Each structure stands twice: as structure tokens, then as C-alpha cells.
Structure 1
Amino acid sequence: MSVVDDVKSKIDIVDVIGQYATLKKAGRNFKALCPFHNEKTPSFIVFPDQNTWHCFGSCNTGGDVFTFLMKKENLDFGEALRRLAQRAGVELTRDAPGEDAERKKLRELLATASAHYHYLLKQHPAAQRAREYISKRFITPETAARFELGYALDEWEALRSFLSGKGYALRELEAAGLVIARESGSGHYDRFRGRLMFPIRNRNGEVIGFGARTLGDDEPKYLNSPQTPLFDKSATLYGLDRAKDAIRKENLAVIVEGYMDVIGAHQAGFCNVIASLGTALTEKQLGLLKRLTNRYALALDPDAAGQEATKRGLQIAREALARKTVPVPMGAGLIGFEERLEAELFVIPLPPGKDPDELIHAAPQQWSDLTAHPEPLVDFYFHALTQDLDLQNARDKSAAVQRLAPIIREIGDAVQRAHYTQKLARLVQVAEPTIAQEIAQVQRASPAEKRSAVETPRVAPRAVSKREEYFLTLALRTPEHLPRVPFLEPDDFADGEARAFFLALRECAAASDFFDRDAFHAALDASLVPLWERLRAAESGVPELNQPELAREIEIAAYRLRAERDKTELARLEVLLRDQDELRAAADEPHLRARVAFLLKRVAESQRALSARTALKAHTF
């Protein structure tokens, strides 16, 4: 968690804004006279469950706790961060000057260890058992070299002695997760011994850790590097450095469990395969894939444990992946807004007793067919969530509908949603209108439930959104294209950190005909340097584009960002308009309806602009 996110998580936005405005409870939110303009009817709303605020009056602006303090106290982002950090009890410390050098040294150390392990696998007599295992798994020497597979000698201090001889300090070996201090305090011993070694790389191809498989009966069967300054198992995907181009080209990421599954797939030419390091799929891992594709297929083992892992992975994906807000007629002249999943999720059903590596070796065409036509998420759930039910029983029929309705409601395509509504009606042998009504009630349950007597728990504050981050990544790469999106304003960035960075970048780019990136970095407020570093790291995930393509891409990113912001405001307005108590307490209805009409028109304009540019992009490519 970044220091900005840490501060957000510990600050109550209601407490902060309450020091500047008299807040009154209005349903699940709070209302007040806007502290930024004179008014008689409250139009300023605080949304505590989202850690945001918005003025629906003449300001027509909003943001998070940082943007509020910046606007109210006329502060820059760094000053706002320092004030809120002090309030939250979070210590702000600048990175030590040697920290980057230390991380670089760790990367060099791990690369040296990987090369040494690989040499041992090829040359050392003690590695014969590892070579036989690789051969038995049908991995060629060329593939083993490509993935730099290695072998750790079955000795207590072999690697420690080798690396110490290369001039590396014991504290560096320990920081890299390669050695463990003895409990007695009398020295260190190698973490990996007598194991086949799999170097784990980041998306840029740098070694950040290791996976190790026992070749005997030792437990555990697989052992990974511990958490280090470079390695976070929950935020790493094995093989992503080699798979990212294929994932983008195929527009599909196939997620498997094991190292050998990835290696075998790539050897056979199926290069869009990555592994989740033996863990249930995590939100951080999905974050690595979002820039490459919005289509994900899980190919986990068909045993009971694999099926449970598939369910967990799909659930995490449903919660973590991007959603779009779509208008839905509500009757009585109202327009509702409901969320639809923007991503497509699939399951690759493996034959009983076969893991991906075994299937790819035995029947590569079958694997190719399965990945070309994966099972949609909803079809998988129709079986997985009803297999324990007796669908001749009325109570179990109701249970089936309750389990599947939330899945169906997320489907973005209306025709597909209607198809699965019909399928569920046939499955439980209940009239389709009844099933459609049940799904509709699930769709509209959320706002009502949140206004119930039970207080909604506060959710973790959102960091810079993916759309904000992607736009800023493009803008940082080619700030000369910012004049192409003059309609984009700081208020279009919901996150205060992103808003401040956009302002700084725009001002620097406008100040000179030549943008000096190093000078911009040097002049950047220290509080924005972590975002700078994240954006620089994210550049590796941006496709290589020529200047006209980059100009068009930055326009597309800007229109998407503005449309997302407008849809968020529309969703909030819809809640106010549907709740008559909040409506009377918050602002006059005609003004809000006029704002809805304006935003709907602007969303439509953004969609037309996007359609024109994406069509041109497709034609160009």
C-alpha cells in the first residue's frame, strides 16, 4: 500500500469535511451547504462509503479528501498529504538515497544466483536427477535454457559460499531471500537445497525470486522465495514477461497453476499462458493483466481443490475487474444506472486426471480447441453452483435462482443476459417473467439495502483508477499531445494524487515547446514521486505506437476517462432522484434533472467520439 493509500484508509472524510461544513445525515450519505459557494439549499453531498464528496450546485465538482483540503485551504497536493498524514498518524519519510541502489544490487544478486543455478543444472553431476526429471516432463534443453531452469545443490551452504566469493554480503543474501539465519545465531544456510529451480521474473524480465520443486519426498513439494523488497507472491504472475505480447495479440490470458504448465504451453507455442504461483488468483495479479486484455480464462486442475480454486479465482475476478455503468429505464420518467462487468471471464474445462501440461503434450489440438472456445463464466456457474441442489424441490429451485441471479445481472450484453435468463427459467422450470423479476430485484437491491437501518461498512479507499493511470502514463510519454484533449479538466480525475500530477504535467508541458522529462521529475513535489515511479513502470505495458497512433490513443483514453467520471456522477444523481427524502434535503429536483440531461448528452458525445476513433484505430491496424 502506498503512503497516499495508507493515509486515505486512516482518515474519515466525514470528520475532515465536518470541520468546514455542518453535515447532516441524509440516508447513507451526508449533506451540507456547499463550503465553496453561497447557497440556500444544500447541494453538497459526502459519500462516506466511497470516501468522496460532490457539489451538485454551481460548483459541479467533487473529489476525495485530498482534493477537498487542497481546494478549501488552497494547498498543493504535497501540503495536503503532509497535513492529513499528521492527522492520521502516518509518518512520511523520503526514500533513503541508497534505496534504489540497494534494489538494483538485489536484482544483480538474483540474476547471478539464477545464472549459477542454471550452470549447475547443465554441468554438475549432482544435477543428473533434475535433468532426468526435466526430460521426463518432455522439456527440451532449449526450453530449459530459455526459462533459465536451474538446480540448487543439496548442501547447506553451497550458494552462500559461491555468492560470498562474488563479493555479496550476507545481509544482501538474506534480503534477497536466498539464505536463512540459523536460530542459534551461528551463521546462515541456503534456503533452497536439492531442488529444481524456476527463476520468477517481473514483467520486464528481471529475476525477482525463485520457485523450487523438490525431486524427492521432501515437503513442501514447492517452495517459493519469501516476501522481499522485490518479490510479492500475490502481485506476481509466472511467465508474464514472455506471455504479455501473446496475451495482447490473442486478447486472452490463460491462467494455470504451475510452473511446468506454463513452460510446457510456451514450448508448444501457446504463449498466452501464465501461472498464479500456486495461489488463488489475487486482485493484484489481475491488475497486471488489465492493460493487456479484458478476457481471462482459468485452466486449473479438474480435481476438487482445483474446482474450488476456480470458484475463488472467478469470484475475485468478478470483484476486481472493471465495470461499466449503463442507463436502465426505471419507469415514472426515471433513469436508473446499473453496473455491468466489462471483462469476459471463462473456464477451460480440463479432462479428468489431466493438468494443462499433460493435456498439451498428449493432445495439443484438444488444448487449442479448448482455449479457442472456452466455457463462459455463466455456463460454468450454472453447473458449479447447482450441482448440490435437487431442482425438483421448490426450496432448491429458489436457492438456484438466488445463486445465479447476481451472476446473470452482471452480463454486459443484453442479448446474452436474456439468453441466460431463459436458461435459468428452463433449468428450474419456472416462468421466465418470474425469473426476470427476481434478477431485476437483485439488480435494484443494492441502494435499498444500503439505506437500511444497518450501516454500510466503509470500504477501502480507491487509489488512482486504472483509467486515470493509463491516461497519465500516455501523457507522461508524450505530453506534446495534451493540447489534443483540451476538454479534459483536473476535476475529471477523482483521485487527488492523479489530479495534482495532471496539473503539474500540463503546466510543465505548456511552459516550453520542449518537454524535459528529467527536469520535470526533478521539480516534482516529493509527494508525487511515487506516482511518477508507478507511471514509469507502467510504460512497459503500453504498446509501441508511432506518433499519430499515440495521439489517437491519448484522445481515446481521455474520452474514456471523462465518460467514466460522468457516469459516476450520473449514478450518484440517480440515487438522489430515487430517494425522495434525500432529494428534498439535498437540492432542488429541476436542477438535478437538468444536470442529468447534460451528463447524458456528454456521455453520448464521448461515446460517439470513442466510436469514431476506435474505428479509425482498427482500420489503421
Structure 2
Amino acid sequence: MAGGFSPQLLEEIRARVDIVDLVGQFVNLKRAGENWKGLCPFHAEKTPSFMVHPKKGIFHCFGCGVGGDAFGFLMRQDRLQFPEAVRVLAERAGVALPTERRTEGDGQREALFKTMAQASEFYQDALWNRPEGEGARRYLDSRGIAPEMARRFVLGYAPEGWDHLLGFMKGRGVTEEQLVQVGLVLPRQTGSGFYDRFRGRLLFPIKDGQGRVVAFGGRAMGTEDPKYLNSPETPLYVKGQTLYAFDLAKPQIREKNRALVVEGYVDCLMAHQHGFTETVAALGTAFTASQLGLLRRYCDEVITFFDADAAGKKATQRVEELLEPGTQGLAWAVNRTGTFGDGSALRLKVALLPSGHDPDSFLRKEGAQAFTQRIGEARSLLAYAVETAIGEENTTAPRGKATAFARVALILAKVTDSQEATELARDAALKLGVDPTQLWIEAQRLQGALRKPAPATAPAPAGVNLPSAERDLVSLLVQNPDVRAALLPVLVEEDLAHPALRAILAALKTVTAESPEALMPHLPGDTERGLLAALLVEERAWPDTTPLIAEYLKRFEMRRRARQIRQVSQAIAQAQASGDPALPQLQAQLSDLQRQAEELRELAARPN
């Protein structure tokens, strides 16, 4: 997998990259001794089992088994090919890469990122440096958006006209096919050719977690329809998996342990302008479970904002969007020890704004202090939804009471926070005048009906179902340099049966590396990297290795003799069938090998 990069270059990049800092951009890490721990970004879990080991420069999840180094993490997190991950980390570490190292096709995705970056530069130039951007600049001023904030969010302007961007990008050598791929141009309805998607609009670049432009949101500055025109989904951009301003907000989300979620681009800018830099926008009214999962890696609390008049309806809708049936049983059921089964559920809250206000208008009218007060008064989103479900029904009538009971039970059936679920059930039962146990039983029944079937095969952690003797041997090799020096010259791949262990052995034998951690880029796949990470983090206390080495040397010598005996026996059978005159020499060689093998067995049987 080293992709044509020298081991020395890869090791230099790996050594310069702070893996805690890198992973910490995506995972809310907390110190655990010499290492760092957090919720795994690659599978759903409630108890942190994802570890980062700064001294070794690796990560490993004890839950799903994934593991690797900085290159492997970035490949998984951002879905990059190995050469792309190397280039990203080399730039981050300030390491120059050989300019001649490029293979056809490995830069296609990188070329699309470059196309989006060039388009963003074009739009920024049109906003700030061209006469046609004057109207957009006046619009920003009318909305109270400070120039420095607009520049921080790299806002731009798409000039009126059909092919301004198209002509500019062609002059930069960008093909029409690439522009179509990233959604910047559209085919003409009549005739041939293409035209600019965005025309006469203020543009909000949408970036990924690495700060790379992946899409644009275009706002009309007059009465044009639609009010907002957004990029389509592309190879770089999936709407429901991206949050606007997430790249800028991540540090503050982690520091404050909360995220503020608004709906619009301007809402988000205005929040940042007033000091609420932990704010992101959901890129539309729908807030997806994927976006929530992204925030969950960085914080324990998410606060969203509703207009007071529409709060009940929106709260219920948001609960439906975010609470999906799971594959497990009732997640908040009390276990046999009397404690709850989860301890790190994300808290979802709703902050109410006065009727007719959104965060943008409220901040401009009332200011940051009033906004802070609204945040402090935020209530549980689930509690608000339950309250709305009860309040919308006539609970004095049997039918209304039954309907409210069913609606509340359906909400509870999707709750994963044990503490909150218990409180909600108790409060709702009190308002409905029913036994809390009834709600509990009905929610459990509904969850069973809603439950999604579990995947047929769940990913097994690396290291499961490995031959224990082989695993111990490779673990000893990666953790002890003296053992490597003594055993690698005599070991062959045939000494190991498990394919992943064989791959690690092959890398140990063929790659010149200062440490086993540096082998990560040279392993063929995720399974092998995860297994190597698992072996490296074990930190087993080995006894005196001298007798172990001697024992392994005798064992491998016996295996080598056995292989030779099999090979010579096969040669004898072929010689007998063909009348080969070399048969006597082969028979003599076989007798000699059998004698040597017997001597080795006797030697191995003697007490040390």
C-alpha cells in the first residue's frame, strides 16, 4: 500500500504528525493515562473503546477492531485513497513530496477539490474586487454581516450571466466534465454546451471537516425564486452528512462540549459574529441522524432553536428525524444490577425564540446576552415533544387520552438515554393519569415492532479467531527487537497459517523500518492494519526471551526439516514413476533428513 512513496518519507511524515491532534479534529478525546480515549467514529457505541496512542502514533478500537496510523485514520475518516492521505498529511507536517510521484487516476478526487477551490477564489474575487459585486456587498451590509466575518467564511458572489465561471475555469484548464461532476455547470436545454449553475447570487461555500470546499449555497438577494439554490450531491458532497461551518466550529464545540445548531447560513454567520463560534447549520430544515452522529464525536450536548409559535410541531418533527429504531432491545431498560446500560447519551435541547424570530434576527435585535439567556433556558427536546403530544390531545376524553398515550409511547420507544427516558415516562404518566409501568410496557412493545433487523454479519474485532500460538509469536515479534533479530532470518510465511498474520510477517521481513508502527502503510488492508494495531497496544509483559527464542528456533528448524522431507518424498515418488536415475541419491538424502529430524526431536524433548 506504500503507493510508491519511500519508507523513509512516510516515516518522516508519520513522525511529524501529532496523531492526537489529528484524531481530535474528529473525535472528542479525553486523556486516559498516557493515551487518549473517545467514542469510535467508525461504529456506533455508547461506552468509549477507541484509543489513541501518541507514543506509538497509532489508534485502535477495542469494539470494532479497526486500527492503524495517521494515514489509515485519514483514509477511513475522509474516504481518501492512500496517495491523497499522504499528500494531506505531508502538507500538514510541512514535508515536501517528490514532484514526479504521480500515477494516472490517483488524483481524480484531488482534482475535483482543486476545481472547487478555484471556483471559490473566482467567486470571492467577484464579491470583493469587481464592480458587479457592489450589490452583494451592500446586501451584506444591510444584513449586518461584518466584512471580516464574510471573509472568514470565504463568501463569494456569482455574477449575472451565463458563462462567467465556465470561461474562467476553462482558462485554468478545468474540463467541462469536471465542472459537471462538482455541480458548477449545467447542460443547456437547447443546443450543445453548458452554463453556470449560480448566477447573480451571494454564495456560501460549504466545506468538509478538512476545510476543503465541497459545495455552495447560493442566496438570491431580491425576490428571485428559489430563495436558496444549493449544489447537488456530488462525489465530494453528501448533504445529510455535512454541516455548514463545521470546520470552523469544531475547536469550540470540543472546548465548550456543546454544539448550537441553526437552520440558515446567515443564522450561522450571525451567531459566530456575536461570539457563539460553536454554531453550525444543518444545510436545510431536516437535521439528520448522520449529522447528529458527527456532532456526538465532539460534544455531549446539542441545542437547536425554534420559533415559539412553531416549536411544538418542529420539536415533534425533529424527534422523528433523529430518533430511529435501533437493532437492540429497549436501550434504556434497567439492567439486573439496577444501573442503567448507557452512560454517554447525547443530550438534545431546544431553545425557544420569540414569535417571528430566527437566530439572525434575534441576535441583531436583542444581542448576545439575550441569546445566552435563551440558551441557558433550553429544555429537553424530547420533553418538549412529549409535552406537545399530550397537549394536542383532549386527555379528558377516553379517545384523546388513548391517542396521547400511544403518541408518547412511540416517542419513548425510540429514546436511547436511560436517565431521560425514565424521567419522561414518569412525568408523562403523571400528566396522563396512568401507571408509568403501562407506558414502559407499551414502549417496549412498540420498540420490538419498530426494531430494525441486525446486520447478518457484524464486523469482528481484529484478533478474533486467530490461532493463539501464531498470534503470540507475531505479538512477540512486533514488541521485541531482540526476538525480531533472532527469528526473522529463519521464519518463512509457511510457518503461519493465518493470512493477516502472514502479511504482518512479510512486512517485518521485507520493509526496513525503525519500528513496527512504521509498517502500517505497507500492509495490504484494513484487517491487517487493525490486527497490527491490536498487537501493538497489548503491551504484554514477556518473560526472559532467551529461552523463548531458543524454543522457537528448535521448533522452526523441525518444521523446516519436515518440509524438506515432504519435498524429497514427492521427488522420490516422481523419480520412481519416471525411472529417474537420480532415485538412489534422493533416497539417501531422505534417510539423512529423517535422521536429522529424529535428532532434533530428541534434543527438543530434553529438559532445558
Report TM bin, short chain. Answer: 0.5 to 0.7
- Output aligned runs, 1:73-112, within 5 Å: 98-112=104-118
Deviations 1:321-374 (A, max 9, x none): 9999567368xxx99997898221111112110001111222221211222332
Aligned length: 406
What is residue 382 of structure 2 aligned with on the other side? 378
Match of 1:359 among 349, 359, 362: 362
Whichever residue aligns with residue 344 of structure 1, its letter is R
For 1:461 and 1:357, the matched residues in 2 are separated by 47
Distance 1:408 1:181, change over 3 A: closer
For 1:267 and 1:320, the matched residues in 2 are separated by 38
What is residue 438 of structure 1 aligned with on the other side? 438
For 2:176 and 2:138, the matched residues in 1 are separated by 33
Name whichever of 144-153 and 388-397 sits farther off: 388-397
Residue 284 (structure 1) aligned with residue 290 (structure 2): yes
Deviations 1:178-228 (A, max 9, x none): 111213342111010000011110011111111100112221111111111
CA offset at residue 527 of structure 1?
8.3
CA offset at residue 441 of structure 1?
0.9
For 1:336 and 1:355, the matched residues in 2 are separated by 40
For 1:316 and 1:460, the matched residues in 2 are separated by 22
Deviations 1:375-434 (A, max 9, x none): 1123211332133211221221222222223545746455x5554444324422x2xxx4
- Output aligned runs, 1:146-225, within 5 Å: 146-225=152-231
Distance 1:526 1:457, change over 3 A: closer
What is residue 299 of structure 2 aligned with on the other side? 293
Match of 1:349 among 342, 352, 371: 352
Residue 243 (structure 1) aligned with residue 246 (structure 2): no
- Output aligned runs, 1:261-272, within 5 Å: 261-272=267-278
For 1:137 and 1:500, the matched residues in 2 are separated by 62
For 2:314 and 2:458, the matched residues in 1 are separated by 27
Residue 143 (structure 1) aligned with residue 149 (structure 2): yes
1:405/1:438 contact within 8 Å kept: no
- Output aligned runs, 1:340-489, within 5 Å: 342-363=345-366, 364-408=368-412, 410=415, 412=417, 414=419, 419-428=423-432, 430=433, 434-445=434-445, 458=453
1:110/1:176 contact within 8 Å kept: yes
What is residue 316 of structure 2 aligned with on the other side? 311
Deviations 1:245-297 (A, max 9, x none): 11111111111111001111111110111111114111222232221123222
For 1:284 and 1:123, the matched residues in 2 are separated by 38
SS at match of 1:249: helix
1:327/1:335 contact within 8 Å kept: no
Distance 1:337 1:264, change over 3 A: closer
2:315/2:384 contact within 8 Å kept: no
For 1:444 and 1:509, the matched residues in 2 are separated by 52
Distance 1:421 1:325, change over 3 A: closer
What is residue 592 of structure 1 aligned with on the other side? none
For 1:300 and 1:501, the matched residues in 2 are separated by 52
Deviations 1:440-476 (A, max 9, x none): 31354268759xxxxx8746668769x99xxxxxxxx
What is residue 126 of structure 2 aligned with on the other side? 120
For 1:435 and 1:519, the matched residues in 2 are separated by 61
1:322/1:343 contact within 8 Å kept: no
2:503/2:523 contact within 8 Å kept: no
Distance 1:217 1:441, change over 3 A: same
For 1:168 and 1:126, the matched residues in 2 are separated by 24
1:202/1:236 contact within 8 Å kept: yes
CA offset at residue 317 of structure 1?
2.4
CA offset at residue 239 of structure 1?
0.4
2:207/2:247 contact within 8 Å kept: yes
SS at match of 1:311: helix
CA offset at residue 310 of structure 1?
4.1
2:133/2:159 contact within 8 Å kept: yes
| Structure 1 unpaired stretches of 5+ | 1-62, 65-94, 451-455, 469-478, 484-498, 536-549, 556-621
Distance 1:302 1:226, change over 3 A: farther
What is residue 524 of structure 1 aligned with on the other side? 524
SS at match of 1:285: helix
What is the CA RMSD across the aligned residues, in angstroms? 4.5
1:301/1:350 contact within 8 Å kept: yes
2:513/2:519 contact within 8 Å kept: no
For 1:286 and 1:100, the matched residues in 2 are separated by 32
1:117/1:151 contact within 8 Å kept: yes
2:119/2:169 contact within 8 Å kept: yes
1:338/1:443 contact within 8 Å kept: no
Whichever residue aligns with residue 369 of structure 1, its letter is Q
For 1:143 and 1:322, the matched residues in 2 are separated by 44
Distance 1:286 1:421, change over 3 A: closer
For 1:417 and 1:136, the matched residues in 2 are separated by 45
For 1:398 and 1:300, the matched residues in 2 are separated by 28
Distance 1:526 1:268, change over 3 A: closer
| Structure 2 unpaired stretches of 5+ | 1-62, 65-83, 85-101, 463-474, 480-497, 541-608
For 1:462 and 1:251, the matched residues in 2 are separated by 34
CA offset at residue 435 of structure 1?
2.3
For 1:340 and 1:139, the matched residues in 2 are separated by 41
SS at match of 1:215: coil
Distance 1:113 1:424, change over 3 A: same
Percent identity, aligned pairs only, is: 30
Distance 1:181 1:500, change over 3 A: farther
Normalising by structure 2, report the TM-score.
0.58
Whichever residue aligns with residue 270 of structure 2, its letter is G
For 2:242 and 2:446, the matched residues in 1 are separated by 33
SS at match of 1:298: strand
Whichever residue aligns with residue 262 of structure 2, its letter is V
Distance 1:198 1:110, change over 3 A: same
1:408/1:421 contact within 8 Å kept: yes
The structure whose Rg is larger is 2
1:340/1:411 contact within 8 Å kept: no
Name whichever of 271-280 and 367-376 sits farther off: 367-376
Whichever residue aligns with residue 291 of structure 1, its letter is R
For 1:523 and 1:161, the matched residues in 2 are separated by 45
